Amino acid sequence: MRDCVLLLCVVAVAMIAAGCTQPSPPQPPQTTLTISPTIPVQTLITTVPTPISQASVSENTITIKNFAFTPQTMTVKAGSIVRWENKDSSPHRIVFIDKDSQDTILDSSVLSSTQAWSQKFDKPGTYPYYCKIHPEMTGTVIVV
Ligand SMILES: [Cu+2]
């Protein structure tokens, strides 16, 4: 009987020992950080339409309402941000064309109702624009 108890003790110790020497849980695979190439910053078309609610008071805002830009001509200092807010139910699309090459130099993409688009103007000059969807809608940004 003592042998039997001793055997049980030995088995119990062996089981505890086995429990303690279980292999540690597998380590998560090491992640290797890969540095992606620097994405070039677009200098001409830099922004995408955003909801009007993200308005900033420091911006010069042109309101799009009743198929017109108000004010139609906006004069700002170089380095200013001009913001268009579409308060029509209709979509609009602001496009600036280079008067020499006729290339599109700025394009807001389609501005749905209640969306806004901001653009920074760094270089002094006169920048006429129009709505690509309603070409009769025109406006001018003058940068001084
Ligand atoms: Cu329009």
| pLDDT per residue as tens digits for the range 117-127 | 999 999 999 99
Q: Can you list the residues of the chain whose pLDDT is less than 50?
A: 1-2, 4-21, 31-45, 56-57
Q: What is the DSSP letter of 111?
A: B
- Distance from the CA of 123 to the center of ligand 1, in angstroms? 26
- Distance from the CA of 44 to the center of ligand 1, in angstroms? 21
Half-sphere exposure of 61 (CA within 13 A, CB side): 14
- Distance from the CA of 69 to the center of ligand 1, in angstroms? 9
- Distance from the CA of 96 to the center of ligand 1, in angstroms? 13
Tell me, what's the pLDDT at 99? 85
- Distance from the CA of 115 to the center of ligand 1, in angstroms? 13
CATH for 50-143, options being 2.60.40.420, 3.40.640.10, 3.40.190.10, 1.10.10.10: 2.60.40.420
SS (H, E, C) 6-74: HHHHHHHHHHHHHHHCCCCCCCCCCCCCCCCCCCCCCCCCCCCCEEHHHCCCCCEEEEEECCEEECCEE
Asked if residue 73 lies in contact with residue 140, where contact means CB atoms within 8 angstroms, the answer is yes
Task: Give CA–CA dist 117/126, Å, rounded.
Answer: 19
**% of the chain exceeding 90 in pLDDT:** 58
- Distance from the CA of 92 to the center of ligand 1, in angstroms? 4
pTM, full prediction: 0.63
- Distance from the CA of 112 to the center of ligand 1, in angstroms? 10
- Distance from the CA of 86 to the center of ligand 1, in angstroms? 9
Tell me, what's the pLDDT at 49? 74
Q: End-to-end CA distance of the chain: give it in Å, rounded.
A: 105
- Distance from the CA of 120 to the center of ligand 1, in angstroms? 21
Token pair belonging to 112 = 């749905």
Q: To the nearest 10°, report the CA torsion of 59, 62, 65, 70.
A: 140
Asked if residue 47 lies in contact with residue 25, where contact means CB atoms within 8 angstroms, the answer is no
